[in-house]
Amino acid sequence: MSTPETIPPAAIILAAGKGTRMQSDLPKVLHEVAGKPMVWWVVQACKEAGADLCVVVIGYKGELVREALADEPGVAFVEQTEQLGTAHATQMAEPAFDNRSLGDIFVLAGDGPLIRGKTLARLLEVHRRTHAAATLATSVIDDPTGYGRIVRAADGGFSAIVEQKDATDAQRAIKEVNPSYYCFRGDLLFKTLDQVGSNNSQGEYYVTDAPGLLKQQGQTVTVVDAVPPEDVLSINTLEQLAEVDRILQARLATA
């Protein structure tokens, strides 16, 4: 009988955004770093970590994303027609799993090309070893501005992820951040997303609420500080794109 541990992991990669500050009509995830679209690097990291299916959630000019990954085996596409938030985008992937036993599922951002396969492999190992419903790979960075903060319980365990716009002053001082590296038990992921609300400053459905909901239901949510600080760099501008390109080129040169 199959158990989540014996089924290869899958991945859901969120890639529907436009990237309005990129000064381009391209979908954000198709801007290139080190000669490849940034979403390509995310797919490769998932495969390195053992994923045999990557479901890419597309939206703005999605046909271009399909074309860019057309030669990649094990990649499927689903469309998010309305931009209602990351939880809603993740939900759009559920039909892609209809004929598949649900094992563990990575949920990742398609605009994070500095992701490493070995980081995802560690995330998966800890997730399975602790029999968690959800596991987050976090990072501690000097300037957490813009990132969701990891709120810890009194015992040091996970309590919640709070987005910056919804955070108190005390929470904004937290330097442990959420770079959007998640691993969920597939059977619990989609049930939990159905419970996510939109009572926040953006009026959106955040996937960041799912681990907190699981915790409230008595499920195990594990946090592992596994993302090197130098890998935590959002790409929202052309300047940040150039910086990530430099970092990735240097990493490849020394590999």
Residues 6+ apart with CB under 8 A from 233: 114, 240, 243, 244, 247
Domain boundaries, the chain: 10-254
- At 219 the pLDDT is 97
pTM: 0.95
Residues 6+ apart with CB under 8 A from 10: 51, 52, 53, 54, 55, 97, 100, 103, 104, 105, 106, 186
Question: What is the rounded radius of gyration, in angstroms, for the C-alpha atoms of the chain?
Answer: 17
Angle at 225 between CA 222 and CA 227, to 5 degrees: 125
- Give the DSSP letter string of 16-69: ----GGGSSSS-GGGSEETTEEHHHHHHHHHHHTT-SEEEEEE-TTHHHHHHHT
Q: Mean pLDDT per 10-residue run, the chain (255 residues)?
A: 76 91 89 97 98 97 96 96 93 91 94 96 97 97 94 94 94 96 96 93 92 96 93 89 96 91
Q: State yes or no: is 21 an active-site residue.
A: yes
- At 202 the pLDDT is 86
Give the count of alpha carbons within 13 A of 237, CB side only: 3
Q: What are phi and psi of 188, to 5 degrees?
A: -90, -25
- At 2 the pLDDT is 58
CATH number for the domain whose boundaries are 10-254 = 3.90.550.10
Residue 61 CA to residue 175 CA, distance in Å, equals 35
Question: Which residue in 71, 70, 78 sits closest to 98, CA to CA?
Answer: 78
Amino acid at 116: R
- The catalytic position among 21, 100, 172, 246 is 21
DSSP letter at 100 equals: S
